[in-house]
Structure 1
Amino acid sequence: MHRVEKPGSGILSRPCLSYYTGKFYELSSWRKALISAGSYDASPFSVKVDHILLLKGIHHATVNVASILPRPEITDLLGLNYRRIPILAIGNDIYIDTSLISVALERRFPVAQGFGTLFPKGKQGQPPHTGLIKAFAKHWADTVLFSLAPALLNWSKFPAAFVKDRSALSGAPINVQAITASREKAISLLSTQLSLVEEQLSDGREWLFDSEGPSLADVSVNFVYAWVQTFRGVESLFDPSTFPKSLAWLSRMAAYLGHLKKVQPQSAVISGADAAAKIASESFEAYSVVGFDQREAKRLGLTVGDRVSVAPDDSGRNFPTEGTLVALNREELILEVQGQVGTFRCHFPRVMFTAKVVSKSEHKLVSLHHLLLFYDMSLLVHAYKLRPISKEATELAMRIITAHPSGLNTREIFKLGLKAHPPVEHAPEPTLPFRSRSGRIGLPVPTAIDHPFRSVRYLKSRILDDLEKQQAIQKRLVPVPVTELEGEELKRVLGSGAQSQGVDGITQVRVHRWVLPLPERAPPPHRDLSHSTWQKETK
């Protein structure tokens, strides 16, 4: 878990420690604990994610879970029935499968903010082969190559409970005798696949895609063969005379990753309960980042707000996760799932995962709520649920409005608030344009999650509106001067209406501004308005 002490302050795990500016990221990596009586001591895919985090330079904490079910830290606390590990959380967003985890880390911890990359440029400065590397990692390394390695494990030494658990994971009974008998065949197939790596490295390149440094492709192949190297009886597979380039590359990867481990802080281990509570308390990324692709949804027979189940197409397909569909595009989909400690946003990749509708009719009432969230309303909804108006926010707003008796609009108050009370270690970032209830496209709204005002929309909808209800402030039309050019533009917009009203030069306009209430006027002196008195006054 990449612990960020303040919103946006992240520790870069590099020889020279530094900080980056951005949103609050609480990152957690869930991985398997030691397997008793086994011949390997960690989930190989968790090792892959560890290596990805090393390349990115992200310090993280780990939650150790059991090697077999049950895993209440995931199924109960988080509400995820997903069977495989690792999973990874950034804030309230939980990412499934290493293919999507790598993409999320690359996007949310970018090079521009001082982090490493999984897609380095070519040696000659060529653009990285991002799409090809993603496909290579998922379809060849993770699927074809990795599927050959488990046959080399000593399955006869595993407890019956472990074999039963892995049978449920694969969706078919595991025949220990048959796997043991296929060992030599598996070594042969791994040798065949390694020959492709040897051919790729034959021109003397350092890394598989001839990049400036190791990429996701290198990590994805290395974690398989480095894992196999720890097995007994595989010496013939790693023959230096047959695969000199490949073995040199494996040594380079080990040295590179070993150096990063030495210079980066060691990750902490925390409890599942602590991690779940922290993840539940954090904000999530706006659904508009993923969006909702109506064409893709129609092809899949899905609509926003549907109750949907998602499961892998291969291992773990009998362990679907159910939730409310809130976002979908060609690369991923997001379900809102309910755990014991809160609501979580679970991201699944589209590749090699299937989504099915569980129920439509029971969840139509929430569709409008989720449609609003797509237009970057997530921060506002989260604020309403979890962030009561602070005394600090109301006092700051009152000080600013009091100091400007001529009035200010909401954005001006927000800017002055940031100046008077700078956000901790990060500047406000613009959100995406949003659509209002009337259908109008709104401007990007600055957000400063650690600031009392939080965002322009939160300031207007919560803080200022609340002060207005208390009659502490009011919205009043005040005259604002305009330039000659602006006046001509207003005349053009008004058109014939301006001419008919005899409007010649427009020098000022009346706009709404937040101001203090006008002082109450003293009541006029009492006058006797009786009929007799009126007669006397009119004589």
Structure 2
Amino acid sequence: MAHKLPPIALFGYDSSPFTQKIRLALRFLQLPYTFIIVPSMMPRPILVDNFNLTYRKIPVLAIGRDVFIDTSLILEHLHSHPALRWYRQAQGAGAEIHHDTRGRVLARLLSSHYTDRPLFRLTTGLIPSVVWRTKFGDDRARLIGHVLDPSKLEKKVPKNLASLDTYLSILEPLFLEEQGGWFLGTEQPSAADISLWYQLEWGEKISRGEGIENLTGGGTADGMGEGMKEVFNKARYPGLWDWYERFNTYVDGLPNVETRVERGDEVGIEKLMRMLEDVEQERDVPMLPTPAVSLQGLEERIGLRIGTKVSIVPDDTGRGDPTVGKLVAISPEEAVIEPDEPEVVGKKGRRARIERVRLHFPKVGFVIQPMKEAKL
């Protein structure tokens, strides 16, 4: 019996570290997918026109008509989604990104509270200042909510390098102890290795200016960066460096499972959208497995009743672009909504192409609030 894989579409761009994280995970799991290139800056009409998705961060992953937000949630669904596990078991391909429950929990905590936030702020602080003098700097100022001063950011690079050195120093004993092993002591790499490696790999490149032309949409040429070689090198942190190189070799040995569709490839985009249109929505909402169900009474006390219209925003940046829709499922870790139609999101007269879409958000890192009823 053939096991059919639902279409998987990743929306992102090459110089996005979080996009690279999910590309790594898909390659680990050997899940064939389509990589749709979107702009590094707003607007991104492909997401609004097809899904009514106004959320402005990247990446976004679609598995059929279910659309997943934030890499922390995406990674977990790639591991646990019933249709994907069924396919992988039938194919007998791909490694596991979680080897046991302890590893799964530790990797999630590492990602949500370490690599994706404080470590990312440090690597971002190493971006050459020329980037902040382009339209990309203006776009990210709107995302953050305040003006960015390129000269001040440039002066902070040495401080950020010193802080990065502190982080590396904390990590080094673990990798010295492993001596050829992986982050959590497993025989094969796991999500924990993905979550640290993607951030260091992106930081190493972007700090030298590699990828800034893509990042700024052509606003500046690659180069002009100081790099992080002063603090991240084999002599200073041999255990961490050997792990970094070993992981790179491991990834290079994995078969490619990606079909790439460039922004101007109308034929490729149309082919993908037709595939998504042809998929029937699963009756049951795919949710992360949790040890306990949602506390319905408590959720209702804070206005999160199934069927209620809610607004969802990140709790750090991008709060000016809420996603609005009807709450259709909720758990202790996840909220799922059906997005509002275009009259609400600002595109009167046009409906989203892909109907009956469900948008999945993690609860960690997001604020979910009921919408106030309009008074007549």
Q: TM-score range by the shorter chain?
A: 0.7 to 0.9
1:66 aligns with one of 39, 46, 68: 39
Report the CA distance between 1:293 and its aligned residue: 4.8
User: Does the residue aligned with 1:106 lie in a helix, a strand or coil?
Assistant: helix
2:11 aligns with one of 30, 47, 56: 30
Indicate how the Cα distance of structure 1 residues 251 and 299 shifts in structure 2: closer, same or farther if over 3 A, else same. Answer: farther
Moved more, 298-307 or 191-200: 298-307
In 1, Cα distance between equivalents of 2:365 and 2:119: 16
Indicate how the Cα distance of structure 1 residues 356 and 265 shifts in structure 2: closer, same or farther if over 3 A, else same. Answer: closer
Report the CA distance between 1:345 and its aligned residue: 0.5
1:179 maps to what in 2?
Answer: 153
Per the normalisation by structure 2, the TM-score is 0.81
In 2, Cα distance between equivalents of 1:180 and 1:245: 30
1:477-507 Cα offsets, whole Å, 9 max, x none, are xxxxxxxxxxxxxxxxxxxxxxxxxxxxxxx
In 2, Cα distance between equivalents of 1:322 and 1:277: 25
Which residue identity lines up with residue 309 of structure 1 in the other structure?
S
In 2, Cα distance between equivalents of 1:243 and 1:42: 26
2:61 aligns with one of 88, 92, 100: 88
User: Does the residue aligned with 1:315 lie in a helix, a strand or coil?
Assistant: coil
- Decide whether the 8 Å contact of 2:31 with 2:257 is kept in 1: no
2:243 maps to what in 1?
Answer: 249
- Decide whether the 8 Å contact of 2:326 with 2:337 is kept in 1: yes
1:366-387 Cα offsets, whole Å, 9 max, x none, are xxxxxxxxxxxxxxxxxxxxxx
2:74 maps to what in 1?
Answer: 101
1:284 maps to what in 2?
Answer: 281
Indicate how the Cα distance of structure 1 residues 162 and 65 shifts in structure 2: closer, same or farther if over 3 A, else same. Answer: same
Report the CA distance between 1:274 and its aligned residue: 4.3
- Decide whether the 8 Å contact of 1:99 with 1:134 is kept in 2: yes
2:123 maps to what in 1?
Answer: 149
Q: 2:230 aligned with 1:236, yes or no?
A: yes
In 2, Cα distance between equivalents of 1:306 and 1:360: 10
User: Does the residue aligned with 2:116 lie in a helix, a strand or coil?
Assistant: helix
- Decide whether the 8 Å contact of 1:78 with 1:276 is kept in 2: no
1:189-239 Cα offsets, whole Å, 9 max, x none, are 111111122122121251110012111111111111111222332220223
Q: 2:260 aligned with 1:268, yes or no?
A: yes
Moved more, 279-288 or 345-354: 279-288
Unaligned runs of 5+ in 1: 1-7, 10-20, 33-40, 122-126, 363-539
User: Does the residue aligned with 2:357 lie in a helix, a strand or coil?
Assistant: strand
- Residue pairs, 1:515-530, within 5 angstroms: none
Which residue identity lines up with residue 183 of structure 1 in the other structure?
V
User: Does the residue aligned with 1:247 lie in a helix, a strand or coil?
Assistant: helix
- Decide whether the 8 Å contact of 1:63 with 1:275 is kept in 2: no
1:302-355 Cα offsets, whole Å, 9 max, x none, are 111111111110121221111111000011111112452123100000101111
- Decide whether the 8 Å contact of 1:332 with 1:347 is kept in 2: yes
In 2, Cα distance between equivalents of 1:102 and 1:221: 14
Report the CA distance between 1:28 and its aligned residue: 0.5
Q: 2:189 aligned with 1:214, yes or no?
A: yes
Report the CA distance between 1:359 and its aligned residue: 4.5
- Decide whether the 8 Å contact of 1:73 with 1:272 is kept in 2: no
User: Does the residue aligned with 2:160 lie in a helix, a strand or coil?
Assistant: helix
In 2, Cα distance between equivalents of 1:301 and 1:64: 37
In 1, Cα distance between equivalents of 2:284 and 2:297: 17
Report the CA distance between 1:280 and its aligned residue: 3.8
In 1, Cα distance between equivalents of 2:285 and 2:17: 33
After superposition, the CA RMSD in angstroms is 2.3
Unaligned runs of 5+ in 2: 209-225, 288-292, 342-350
Indicate how the Cα distance of structure 1 residues 144 and 285 shifts in structure 2: closer, same or farther if over 3 A, else same. Answer: farther
Q: 2:300 aligned with 1:298, yes or no?
A: yes
Q: Which has the higher contact order (CA 8 A, sep 6+)?
A: 2
**Structure of higher CA gyration radius:** 1
**Percent of aligned pairs with the same amino acid:** 28
- Decide whether the 8 Å contact of 1:25 with 1:91 is kept in 2: yes
- Decide whether the 8 Å contact of 2:281 with 2:356 is kept in 1: no
- Residue pairs, 1:373-392, within 5 angstroms: none
In 1, Cα distance between equivalents of 2:114 and 2:337: 28
User: Does the residue aligned with 1:356 lie in a helix, a strand or coil?
Assistant: strand
1:406-460 Cα offsets, whole Å, 9 max, x none, are xxxxxxxxxxxxxxxxxxxxxxxxxxxxxxxxxxxxxxxxxxxxxxxxxxxxxxx
